[in-house]
Structure 1
């Protein structure tokens, strides 16, 4: 029992600021209510691995602030005078959905004010250098659509765009820059504009199908012996592309392949069960996370203090009657108001 209590407390502590000001702080009792939805035999092993994983994939406000502070003074980006560089940068607040970009700009603006005496809104008059910042990119669709629309509209004839994310999935960059049905490089060329793109992130996670075996996301090695899962997979038009066992991925997200397989199998079984019990999930909300392509799911384990992405397994965020570890918010207006109220009280 001591190990179980320690793990419950550790997970609650790691995620202590999840949706702070919007939800009660996570407690061991909250984590226990979540884990009790799994079979008793796998509860402690799941807790062990989630405790390990979340220490790598959960981005608290403090960790986010540390990332932004590093970005502020990255010499390869800003040179010898960070304030002079940032004064000339235009911050793109062009996100077509959600509030994450506006909130990331607000956090960085706080940093600029503390270090340079000006805010993000005062930067980039007549700029040729632009910053597109967000907390994470999963499929790449959001950044692709936002930047393509900007290129067709307000983008100048010549520009440099720095695309900054705390966490990035390799498939997202590939989709945004190389998708054969349209991408940001083609959009710039078609518009007759000379635009150069540079990508920056703290955590670059492999998720491309061609690199499934070395991926950093949940990719099962087998279909578990479970009637509901067998029925779900049997109804798929294309059978799942399974991972060859033996690797934990290049970023060491998982403690071992055995522990990784446990999460893949148990979250897949739970996700299929959740789809049966939650009538409001659409067909793209796959057992291992939202995905337009017909797969078992995206499988990301990235969570930030702001929110849990729907690209994460349903077992982490799906709601009533399932008890989520990370209840999601989809009300960006309410989330933004509470975020700004919280930020106003803070010293960066």
Structure 2
């Protein structure tokens, strides 16, 4: 029992600043209530592996600030006069949904003020360098659409765009990068794109053997999961057991397999008890393509992406470890703020 108590406390401590100010601070009882929704035999192993993984890929506010400070000081990005580089840079605030870019810009401005004595409102003195900040690149659709529109309607004839994010998934970058290059060619503008990240995770289908996202090795012998898979138009891509991934996130392949199996079963169950979930909310996370789900375990202090397994974030009647703010909720709050109200 003491090991369980220690793990509950450790996980709560790791995620203690999750949505700080808008949610009660996570405590061991919160983690315990979440894990009790799984079969008793797997609760301790789940806690052990979630504790291990979150210590690697939960990004607290201080973790994000540290990454931004590091990017700010990267000579390969800024050259030998970082103060001059940042004063000339233009910061894009063009995200079509959510508030992650706005929040990241505010945090970057704070770090810039500490480092150089000026914030992003004092930047933009040049007309060639542009900065696109976000917390993560998952499927790549958001950054693709944002930059496609900007390139077509607002970008100058010549520009350098630096995409800076905490977590980047290889497949999402590959997809978005190709679409963005198509948009550049169509615009007949000269625009270069460079990607910067704190961590890169493998999620490409062709690299399933070494995937860092959750991608099951077998379909569990569970009637509900078997029925869900049987109803899919295309059978899911499975990974070969033996390699837990390139980023060294998991304690072992066996531990990763446990999460894949249990989160898949839980995700199918959640879809049954939460009928308002859309078709793209797959058991292992949001994905437009028909798969078992995206399967990312990245979470930041700001929010949990919907590309994470449903077991992480779906609300009542399921109890989430990471209650999520949706883009719709963010838009409503912005509307009320614009009208002088509050929610």
Over 3 Å counting, the alpha-carbon distance change for 1:69 and 1:267 in structure 2 is same
1:319 counterpart = 2:315? yes
The residue aligned with 1:213 is: 209
Contact conserved, 1:329 with 1:335, CA < 8 A, in 2?
Answer: no
Deviations 1:46-69 (A, max 9, x none): 000000000111000010011011
2:240 is aligned, of 226, 239, 244, to: 244
SS at match of 1:76: helix
TM-score by length of 1: 0.94
SS at match of 1:202: strand
The residue aligned with 1:345 is: none
Q: Measure how far apart 1:192 and its partner are.
A: 1.1
Contact conserved, 2:89 with 2:126, CA < 8 A, in 1?
Answer: no
- State how far apart, in whole Å, the 2-side matches of 1:187 and 1:237 are: 31
Map 1:252-267 to 2 at 5 A: 252-267=248-263
Segments of 5+ residues of structure 2 without an aligned counterpart are 336-343
1:226 is aligned, of 222, 228, 253, to: 222
Aligned structure 1 segments of 4 or more residues deviating by more than 3 angstroms: 333-337
Segments of 5+ residues of structure 1 without an aligned counterpart are 338-348
- State how far apart, in whole Å, the 2-side matches of 1:177 and 1:316 are: 29
- State how far apart, in whole Å, the 2-side matches of 1:14 and 1:63 are: 12
The residue aligned with 1:157 is: 157
Q: Measure how far apart 1:335 and its partner are.
A: 7.1
Deviations 1:171-194 (A, max 9, x none): 11111122xxxx111211111100
Q: Measure how far apart 1:333 and its partner are.
A: 5.0
Q: Measure how far apart 1:125 and its partner are.
A: 2.5
1:291 counterpart = 2:279? no
Over 3 Å counting, the alpha-carbon distance change for 1:333 and 1:292 in structure 2 is closer
- State how far apart, in whole Å, the 2-side matches of 1:307 and 1:80 are: 35
1:303 counterpart = 2:261? no
Q: Measure how far apart 1:30 and its partner are.
A: 0.2
What number of residue pairs does the alignment pair up? Answer: 333
TM-score by length of 2: 0.95
1:137 counterpart = 2:146? no
Q: Measure how far apart 1:334 and its partner are.
A: 7.3
- State how far apart, in whole Å, the 1-side matches of 2:154 and 2:67 are: 29
State the Cα RMSD in Å.
1.2
